[in-house]
Amino acid sequence: MSEDTGTNYQLIKGSTSHTNMSTLSYWNEPNTLQYDNKTIVDRMRSRTEVYPDVVPFVERLLSGSKRSITNQEFLQKTEKIAKYLVSLGVKKGDKIAIYGKNSLEWIIGEFAIFFAGAVSVHINILTRDASDALGMIDICKCRFLLIDPTNDNGAAQLISAFKERDRNNHILLLRKNEKYQFYDLESEFCSPDRKSELPNVDTDDDAMIFGTSGSTGTPKLVLFTHFNIACNTPTDADNPSYSHFGGPSKFTIFNDRTFSWMGGTPITNFLYGNQMIFTSTSANPTKEEAMQIWKMIQEEECNGGCFLPYLLQNIIDTLGKVEDDGFRLHMLFSGGQIIDDAFIKTVWRYCKLFFIGYGFTECFASVSLIPLSEGQPYCTGYVGKINKGVELRIVDGSEDTVPLGIHGDIQIRHKALSKGYFANDELTKEVFTATGWFRTGDIGYLKDEGVLIITGRKKDIISRGTMKITPGFVEEKIQSMPGIKNVVVVGVPDDHLLEEVCVCFIPVEEMDVTPAAVENFCKDTFLKEETLDGMGEMPKYFLRFEIFPLLYNGKLDKVQLKKLAAQNLKLCDQ
């Protein structure tokens, strides 16, 4: 991927200011914060030197127990494990797979990979035979596996298959497990210091490989360097949260997401100097777990919380039936999917400010972040003003920048963008332009002052005859119907029109909303025969669901939902 940052400005007639005076859909406002050109390793050492006793991570279990670690302990244990990896033969640039539930050991293991000069490969297991994880390991040619097999069948399959692949493969347990005789982190912590020398790590060195969520298809392997990861976090001296909250780790934030996913990585909070509170639970907690999570947040006196929309909805559904305890988070963050006004109206019992973030696994920085307060009007798909340092444009099919207010494909450019997709040059060239623009796959439009509106995914567009239908528009209308909890509009096969519009909905608990009722609502809302093509955007099919299929990270699995809809309508083979 090209590092060029100037050639593409020709598309906007030479404009390099924060806004484009030719009224084209382009935005680029320089960042005013100070950043340094350091690696993750450099940041950790300098942070420890200045703040050795500060606690960056607190692990809470639903049982009520608690563990934490100081910067000094964190650095010592990380260097110890890194030296052990080097003693095993880990070389600079080697790929090391890591898998397991959220834990302090997981964090130490990943940072040890960085200190050893290696690349951390985030593994997720979605199949019982762990074939998906093994495929990722094979592509990355991982000879080392750091794993926590606690209560996980997939992990057992992965361990067995990984050793069968090559007897010289190494397995290090993140936490001791009686079922396995492999060496573990705790044993190494108690062993004498090794004489292995740690390599010098440079900002251009590869650091991490993430798998995308796969919410719209096959997951991709996204590669980041140390520079991509650390370049967008301000120096400690210029960190705005330090001055606002009174120093490092004073901003205490709970994060519900798995460490293996971009939104849950502990690196971000560490680099920003936040104190991260975490636990290990599913994105679909039981009522009891939801209550425990909220209690945990109060006990830790968290300033902020970062939740997947689905987990947040589960907490709201549970706590909404319990007397208000008066506790409010100062900030609540969510994102990963379009959030509507109906959802936002339910969050104010839990926070003072609600932030909606917009970003991608391919970029180690958010594109935009909008703060909302109670009563503030909100438009579905509105993600706020483009963040400083992010370059964004809206283009047409020829990749020419469109005028302000015109829908088009959203593209971004930023120094935190991934290098591309590991071991997939063809896909990298397809998604990243020669001048460094990332084709996000999202559709939207730009308003004055750099305000961005997302209207949907390019892949989600439903082609009914010659009409291109954006699901988000239809969803927003149906979401306003009383008794509707969640709604997703998908395209299903049609012999004559290629695709037809299908409404998949989940009703509010204890409300008997039928498909016929939703159809009648749509007939009252959308024009059909009166439109030029005689169909307009009126849906044809209506399906009621109790739950929607989710991916491992709690995001909606649209691919599976489309399959289920087509099967239920008998439009494809079962």
Strand, helix or coil for residue 477 = helix
- pLDDT, mean of residues 256-260: 86
Residue 5: what pLDDT? 33
Q: pLDDT tens across 550-571, in order? A: 876 667 888 899 999 999 999 9
Residue 283: what pLDDT? 54
**How far from 8 is each of 12, 16, 26, 400, 562, CA to CA, in Å?**
8, 11, 12, 11, 38
Residue 563: exposure state from Cβ atoms within 10 A (0-12, 13-18, ≥19):
middle
How would residue 95 be classed by pLDDT, with cut points 50, 70 and 90?
Answer: very high
How would residue 536 be classed by pLDDT, with cut points 50, 70 and 90?
Answer: confident
- pLDDT, mean of residues 104-112: 98
Q: pLDDT tens across 446-471, in order? A: 998 899 998 888 888 888 876 778 88
Q: pLDDT tens across 271-311, in order? A: 989 999 999 866 556 777 878 888 899 999 999 999 877 67
Average pLDDT in the chain: 87
CA dist., res. 226 & res. 211, Å (int): 17
- Nearest residue to 69 (alpha-carbon basis) of 48, 90, 38: 48
Residue 263: what pLDDT? 84
In this structure, of 28-32, 331-335, 337-341, 487-491, the range with the lowest mean pLDDT score is 337-341
Lookup: tokens for 364 = 């180690």
- CATH fold of 461-569: GMP Synthetase; Chain A, domain 3 (3.30.300)
The more confidently predicted of residues 198 and 125 is 198
The fraction of the chain above a pLDDT of 70, given in percent, is 89
Phi-psi region of 357 (alpha: psi -120 to 50; beta: other; left: phi over 0): beta
pLDDT at position 20 over 60: no
Residue 330 C-alpha from the chain's centroid: 22
Half-sphere exposure of 543 (CA within 13 A, CB side): 24
Residue 4: what pLDDT? 34
- pLDDT, mean of residues 495-508: 91
Which sequence spans correspond to the domains of the chain? 40-201, 386-456, 461-569
- pLDDT, mean of residues 19-42: 81
Instruction: Assess contact for 509 and 317: CB atoms under 8 A.
Output: yes
Residue 6: what pLDDT? 31
Instruction: Assess contact for 119 and 94: CB atoms under 8 A.
Output: yes
pTM, 2 dp: 0.83
Residue 379: what pLDDT? 81
**How far from 46 is each of 72, 80, 84, 317, CA to CA, in Å?**
11, 18, 22, 43
pLDDT at position 510 over 50: yes
CA triplet 479, 485, 490: central angle to 5 degrees? 60
CA dist., res. 446 & res. 84, Å (int): 51
Instruction: Assess contact for 101 and 146: CB atoms under 8 A.
Output: no
Residue 8: what pLDDT? 30
- CATH fold of 40-201: Rossmann fold (3.40.50)
Residue 356: what pLDDT? 87
Residue 288: what pLDDT? 78
Q: Indicate the DSSP class of residue 403.
A: B
Q: 386-456 sits in which CATH class?
A: mainly beta
- pLDDT, mean of residues 202-217: 79
How would residue 368 be classed by pLDDT, with cut points 50, 70 and 90?
Answer: very high
Lookup: tokens for 506 = 């989940």
Residue 304 C-alpha from the chain's centroid: 17
CA dist., res. 446 & res. 386, Å (int): 10
Q: pLDDT tens across 210-234, in order? A: 987 554 445 689 999 999 999 878 7
- Nearest residue to 248 (alpha-carbon basis) of 43, 36, 41, 40: 43
